[in-house]
Structure 1
């Protein structure tokens, strides 16, 4: 009998890992999570440790694949629903340089701080507080308002 364990998948969200683990345990599969405590106590280490690892027996991998493919409720991505609520319709932002719709809105990378934020930070011997935000194209790297 093959009692070898393998890392079935990794998750950067401990909640998602626990949901999958509970689903597998309810279906009768033996499994456990590795590095869950580190990722929960200090989320900044999550990238360094490689995320929360779901460990299963090698003999169960095919049955687990079939179970998870069959269960469509695990394909739920809450970030997609939030995006859909914010953007009703087809008014997606398009990159002015390359025409891509792979665009996000967030903190600027090139001109992160305004001149006033830099001056005030210099005078108070602290770091700048207010950062600029803009649209960022993930395909060509162009930043625009």
Structure 2
């Protein structure tokens, strides 16, 4: 086994290991429990090591260095965008209706009354809806 990558935290190594396993490359994680026990030792011992067989090293390095963000952007553009049901604009944002009045009631009465709603607000017409379509 040979080290293909080093990580500061075990969860980062597990994400990389999952990527390699999806490509059919066997791998193992070393020093995971040491870092979990005392995470301050991470830099001192070289972090958590992700190890693969020597014959899989080049393929593993290619997989770990590949940036898949363009694929994600392409998938998002293919899916239907949410839009305002009133004006059909796609310029909507997450919004909490009634948050200010709920805060004022809490300040004045000393206990919270939760009468606010989470939803979306259109940036074009200002329409609020609980579910964008």
TM-score class normalised by the smaller sequence? 0.3 to 0.5
**TM-score after normalising by structure 2:** 0.47
**TM-score after normalising by structure 1:** 0.44
Larger Rg: 1 or 2? 2
